[in-house]
Structure 1
């Protein structure tokens, strides 16, 4: 099996985010299967390999795992001729992935996106890991409502939280927390509303680690259902949806959950989490890596012969539609240019 080099721009605090931590977890799991190392490419770091140095060597027996959304197009160019795998977290970055690059997606939502956008690429599903540290420690839950400021909607921060603060104990986190496990274990309810944040950035919620981590710690969840969150959140069975209809309705449901000794939401997370723990992910990853290695064995000796989806295919379909409309109206000896204008207008985006 080829070596795996996981590429990240850097690992210091300026790069801290869910995507980086998820990538580091997968790297550690991959080490149990084959030789795997971390590689930085924007900055040199003590103890880590640097991409420019590696590219001066023979890279035939290396697979480069790329994942940092905004850097993907440049990395694909830089790694031309190498064995490359795209580890897709979020979707919607508006770049294409050629069919010779396998795609590993962290959610079924992202898998569906790339299944449509890259139908001829090898595509696999490998969820992010929820590490064993995220578990119910049975601590006193002295925080009624926990909210992280980052990625939260204006509605959450400007309408809902201020009203909740007068009715219960709310803790608002505005800085990075090293050990959020304890906070989740001290909290009754965790609020998460990222739909607005991702809409503003025009990309999707790739997985949504925090709600699942909170569930693992025994928290009740009120969350949006956008992107990868829809993979595992199930309103009225393991969560409740936030931002329904009015602030008052949200407050009513949140206070009921805080005060209820036996919440109507199923709180046993063991069945939900089983496929996101390290053991199951290692099992899936090993199968995926074996297939990817076979693909890279095959690719150098055989060219691709599947016609890719292109603008020409869509234009051909629209032309056929226009022609059929003309034939229909010709039968009744009636024709007016406004009949086909709606069809022609659909071609305008392709002319730019």
Structure 2
């Protein structure tokens, strides 16, 4: 197994976000399979390697054959892929929709089936794999009393949720609005009966997709009844009317009725263990072992063979469409 270098802009609060935490979790899981460490490229950090130093320590003829660079930061991915064109690199894709393309020499590992489908179409000649994010074992139902009727986090929440639905709910039940970092999120989820999550507007403004959506899954694992949007990666596991409820359903009044009905029933959510097992560490480590074995085999092959499958480029697609239109016109003229 080649060593993995996880490329991150930095690891301090300056870069804090769900993508950073998810990547650091993946790093720890990868260390169960092979040697892996962080390499930063925007901010120097004394405890981590610096990308330029690492690359400059090797001549152009030395390709760090015993290492694989793991690219994950969407906004930097295209630039990093170009910079690492003479090295082994993979793209760990969270969100989709950044608009860049990757050469077939860069395998892609996606965190959701939604992102898997995106790259399956955009890079049809790349090796592509599915490796979901981890849901820690600490996210479980404690079966304790729940003193919060409705829990909502302000980050990523829509204007409708914060300006209309939450104020209306506050008139009828106990609502906890969280606008700060919570260390013990599993504890908060175990106190709540209902968790609200509505990120479709946020990601529409960002112009990219919800890569996975950890919080609804974590809330469900803790027994919360979840009302959520089902955009992008959320559609991997959310199943409205069966394991969750669709939020922003036609009218505020209809949302109110459904949420209050769930609160009155006071029934915790129950996710089958078969669903959660897909996202627990044991399964992810198992999948990562298999994926990395094939990726390592691919890089062995790439050193000896050139890729020879034509790219599905914009111009190639345009050419094929033109040929299709011309073929249809010829058929019409033939039958006249």
- Same fold, TM-score > 0.5, yes or no: yes
State whether residues 158 and 202 of structure 2, in contact with CA within 8 Å, keep that contact through their aligned partners in structure 1: yes
Give how far 1:181 is off.
1.3
**Residue 301 of structure 1: aligned partner:** 304
SS in 2 for 1:177: coil
What is the 5 A alignment of 1:48-67?
Answer: 48-58=48-58, 59-67=64-72
Scaled by the length of structure 2, the TM-score of the pair is: 0.94
Give how far 1:56 is off.
2.2
**Residue 314 of structure 2: aligned partner:** 311
Q: Are the structure 2 counterparts of residues 145 and 126 from structure 1 closer, same or farther at C-alpha, using a change threshold of 3 Å?
A: same
**Residue 118 of structure 2: aligned partner:** 113
State whether residues 216 and 269 of structure 1, in contact with CA within 8 Å, keep that contact through their aligned partners in structure 2: no
**Residue 20 of structure 1: aligned partner:** 20
Q: Are the structure 2 counterparts of residues 318 and 80 from structure 1 closer, same or farther at C-alpha, using a change threshold of 3 Å?
A: closer
Q: Give the Cα–Cα distance (whole angstroms) in 2 for the partners of residues 46 and 179 of structure 1.
A: 29
**Residue 6 of structure 1: aligned partner:** 6
Pick the aligned partner of 2:323 from 320, 324, 332.
Answer: 320
Q: Count residues with an aligned counterpart.
A: 331
SS in 1 for 2:289: helix
Q: Give the Cα–Cα distance (whole angstroms) in 2 for the partners of residues 279 and 325 of structure 1.
A: 53
Q: Give the Cα–Cα distance (whole angstroms) in 2 for the partners of residues 27 and 61 of structure 1.
A: 17
Q: Are the structure 2 counterparts of residues 262 and 40 from structure 1 closer, same or farther at C-alpha, using a change threshold of 3 Å?
A: same
RMSD between aligned residues: 1.6
Scaled by the length of structure 1, the TM-score of the pair is: 0.90
Q: Give the Cα–Cα distance (whole angstroms) in 2 for the partners of residues 317 and 249 of structure 1.
A: 48
Pick the aligned partner of 2:200 from 195, 198, 202.
Answer: 195
Q: Which stretches in structure 1 are left out of the alignment for 5+ residues?
A: 334-352
SS in 1 for 2:152: strand
State whether residues 147 and 171 of structure 1, in contact with CA within 8 Å, keep that contact through their aligned partners in structure 2: yes
State whether residues 193 and 266 of structure 2, in contact with CA within 8 Å, keep that contact through their aligned partners in structure 1: no
Pick the aligned partner of 1:280 from 271, 278, 283.
Answer: 283
Pick the aligned partner of 2:174 from 165, 169, 172.
Answer: 169
Give how far 1:135 is off.
1.3
Q: Give the Cα–Cα distance (whole angstroms) in 2 for the partners of residues 38 and 324 of structure 1.
A: 53
Moved more, 129-138 or 212-221: 129-138
What is the 5 A alignment of 1:99-178?
Answer: 99-178=104-183
Residues 1:271 and 2:274 are matched in the alignment: yes
**Residue 209 of structure 1: aligned partner:** 214
SS in 1 for 2:190: helix
Q: Give the Cα–Cα distance (whole angstroms) in 2 for the partners of residues 105 and 79 of structure 1.
A: 20
SS in 1 for 2:129: strand
SS in 2 for 1:172: strand
SS in 1 for 2:303: helix
SS in 2 for 1:285: helix
Residues 1:33 and 2:38 are matched in the alignment: no
Q: Give the Cα–Cα distance (whole angstroms) in 2 for the partners of residues 211 and 99 of structure 1.
A: 34
Larger Rg: 1
Q: Give the Cα–Cα distance (whole angstroms) in 2 for the partners of residues 331 and 13 of structure 1.
A: 68
What is the 5 A alignment of 1:75-114?
Answer: 75-114=80-119
Bigger relative contact order, structure 1 or 2, given CA contacts below 8 A and separation 6+? 2
Q: Which stretches in structure 2 are left out of the alignment for 5+ residues?
A: 59-63
Q: Give the Cα–Cα distance (whole angstroms) in 2 for the partners of residues 30 and 331 of structure 1.
A: 61
Give how far 1:271 is off.
2.5
